[in-house]
Structure 1
Amino acid sequence: MTAQQLYEALADSRSVVAGVAAPVDGSPELPGEEREFDLRMSRRMASVEQLLLATCRDVPDPRFADLTGHLAAGGGKRLRPLLVLLGAEFADRERAGVERAAVAAELVHLASLYHDDVVDEAATRHGAATANRRWGNRMAVLGGTWLLARTAGMAAGLAPGALALNAETADRLVAGQLRELAGPLPGELPIEYYFQVTAGKTAALLSMSLRMGALQAGAPPETVAALVEYGEQIGIAFQTADDILDLAPSEAATGKERGKDLLAGVHSLPVLLALEDRDPRGARLRALLEAGPGSRGEDWHGRVLDLFARSRAVERAGELMHERLERARKALAPLPPLPARGALDALCDFVATRIA
């Protein structure tokens, strides 16, 4: 994905990175510092994309290059490498290895998707066949595992602490997935359980990306700490927004099947809030959720989606998402007023407008 495509994907008028090589026709010229930032991010994202595609296909046996490069070739927003580059903006952004760090962060993400699609028995991703559908589960698992191994090799050549960070993030990802499959512990509050799972499944990678970029660029500890906290909070907000969009009234607004998580039996945040709701007006929705997706005598899926459209649970989930976004903005406060900080702040706006 080019920086221009990233610009179009992440916002309507201004990109989160602003990543355009020239102003859109009819738009005003950007101030000098922001203009330079835009050009730099455009150049660096293009360089990261080339390195990513080459790395994913650089396997000892060329017969497997299509497998290991399958998801990378399919595109994506490349949010994680973008965050690495933004993290590096707060120190020596041109230090060697920053773009390799960006590729390493995306490789962890891609590897997790190979494994997720096997676990979920997914047939498509972004409109294309998944690796497990094309090559089978065993090959897909091995493809994802190879990408993880390649990530470790890249991290070993980066700044001190990068390899340990890579291992820590992989640990959090797997732990989050395992906890989601196993459910909460006896006596554990469901909402707290949800946020812990989300911290592992989603926030860990965003936090890692910012931290990786800052470490590689030699940022001071207080800057790294601020970026890590931002990444944790924006990651939870991102996942909460996805949960809400899964129940969106219009499938056309998201391009995804409505209620996919519902059918899979995933207890997303709105579902957990609806199950906790003791208001008599939510009794029917609660009863259907407790019965589960196997009870489809009365079009279980459609009835649940209709009831969610009038449920307080979705509104409450949105409030909790905005609380996380406010925490993310607060984490940015100690950072210098660079264009990169403005981009991270704009990312909060983007997450908020996804469910508006």
Structure 2
Amino acid sequence: MLDQKAHKPHERLAAHLSEDLAAVDDMIRTRMVSEHAPRIPEVTAHLVEAGGKRLRPMLTLATARLCGYEGEKHVILATAIEFIHTATLLHDDVVDESAQRRGRPTANLLWDNKSSVLVGDYLLARAFQLMTDTESLRILAVLSNASATITEGEVLQLTAAQDLGTTEEIYFKVVRGKTAALFSAATEAAGILAGVSEDQIKALYDYGDALGIAFQVVDDLLDFWGGEETGKNIGDDFRDRKLTLPLIKAISASDDDEMAFWKRTLEKNQQTEGDLDTALEIMNRHGALEETRQAALGWANTAKDALAILPEDPIRDMLSDIADYVVERIN
């Protein structure tokens, strides 16, 4: 037997759910096929097979098993979740004009924007076909609402990204849309499928919601507080003028001179060499990075606390460990 201590929590969970994950992979390959448009499986395979963690569908499989589900529809549900996620990645790369994802050229770069958008649309349609196969109107409602919330969050981010008046409240609305909505839908829908109590379904939603928020806050923090080991280039969000939590906290505490700096660099996009260093100095001066770190840790703890009402099980322990792992890089 492999030494469990040698593996990250999501890897241990993947090993525990290996048969279910294999079934999801089989269903992905089957359902992404198109008889009349071969570009669809080409584009989909490029992204699906790029080595992602499959965290969202894994959360669906794990929470279904944790809740005692013994059927096969959790595989259908997990595949639908992965298709929604893949569709949003295809669309995001077009919107962000990205050239790389998971260390590989993006689909929009290898093919074109039209192919990426249309294949994303196809995957969303496939996801809704799969949702109906669960034969649960409530699950269909959860996932369709999540899909709408994801798009709403992305559009809100477009309008809020370079607005110095963006508040933390708006930031968390964006995060709940673009990241947390699919996490919480993945866990909540699994509880509905398993037929657990309303209190447990709410706990599953709360776990996914808090985990997704922690995930995004950490990602935003590491943009200013990372290094080569994090795989991120320091200051990309500043250069791209994305108002994430560290910047919002710093801006809200800034004096007139500091606000003039933010207006020049973020509103007017007049950035010069050394501006990133100045931005970091202002953020550190006002404790914005440390406050963001504490916020991420708080959300991870909220996720762990939500699990208390769920059955004692090795899966519950691994889900708790995943919450710790999400914030491990900022501890």
Normalised by the length of structure 1, the TM-score is 0.84
Deviations 1:313-356 (A, max 9, x none): 11000111122122212211111111121111111110121222
The one-letter code sitting in structure 2 at the alignment partner of 1:322 is L
The one-letter code sitting in structure 2 at the alignment partner of 1:336 is P
Deviations 1:32-78 (A, max 9, x none): xxxxxx2xx12222222232233223453224320232210212011
Which residue of 286, 295, 308 corresponds with 1:333?
A: 308
Q: Hey, what does 2:321 align to over in structure 1?
A: 346
Alpha-carbon distance, 1:93 to partner: 2.6
**Contact 1:53–1:73 at 8 Å: present in 2 too?**
no
Alpha-carbon distance, 1:153 to partner: 0.4
Q: Hey, what does 1:288 align to over in structure 2?
A: 261
How far apart, in 2, do the equivalents of 1:137 and 1:12 lie? 41
2:187 maps to 1:210: yes
SS at match of 1:121: coil
**Contact 1:173–1:201 at 8 Å: present in 2 too?**
yes
SS at match of 2:9: coil
144-153 or 96-105: bigger deviation: 96-105
Q: Hey, what does 2:88 align to over in structure 1?
A: 112
Q: 1:347 to 1:20 in 2, by over 3 A?
A: closer
SS at match of 1:48: helix
Q: Hey, what does 2:221 align to over in structure 1?
A: 244
How far apart, in 1, do the equivalents of 2:164 and 2:74 lie? 44
Q: Which has the higher helix share?
A: 2
Q: Hey, what does 2:76 align to over in structure 1?
A: 100
How far apart, in 2, do the equivalents of 1:64 and 1:201 lie? 24
Q: 1:152 to 1:288 in 2, by over 3 A?
A: same
How far apart, in 2, do the equivalents of 1:63 and 1:212 lie? 31
Q: Hey, what does 2:157 align to over in structure 1?
A: 180
The one-letter code sitting in structure 1 at the alignment partner of 2:141 is A
**Contact 1:118–1:140 at 8 Å: present in 2 too?**
yes
Which residue of 25, 36, 42 corresponds with 1:49?
A: 25
Alpha-carbon distance, 1:306 to partner: 5.9
The one-letter code sitting in structure 1 at the alignment partner of 2:296 is M
159-168 or 97-106: bigger deviation: 159-168
How far apart, in 1, do the equivalents of 2:27 and 2:244 lie? 36
Deviations 1:7-43 (A, max 9, x none): 99xx96452462476xxxxxxxxxxxxxxxx2xx122
Q: Hey, what does 1:33 align to over in structure 2?
A: none
The one-letter code sitting in structure 1 at the alignment partner of 2:42 is D
**Contact 2:214–2:326 at 8 Å: present in 1 too?**
yes
Alpha-carbon distance, 1:270 to partner: 0.3
Q: 1:158 to 1:108 in 2, by over 3 A?
A: same
How far apart, in 2, do the equivalents of 1:19 and 1:228 lie? 19
Q: Hey, what does 1:316 align to over in structure 2?
A: 291
SS at match of 1:233: helix
Long gaps (5+) in structure 2: none
Which residue of 221, 224, 239 corresponds with 2:201?
A: 224
SS at match of 2:98: coil
Long gaps (5+) in structure 1: 22-37
Q: Hey, what does 1:35 align to over in structure 2?
A: none
Q: Hey, what does 2:128 align to over in structure 1?
A: 152
Number of corresponding residues: 326
Alpha-carbon distance, 1:309 to partner: 6.0
2:195 maps to 1:201: no
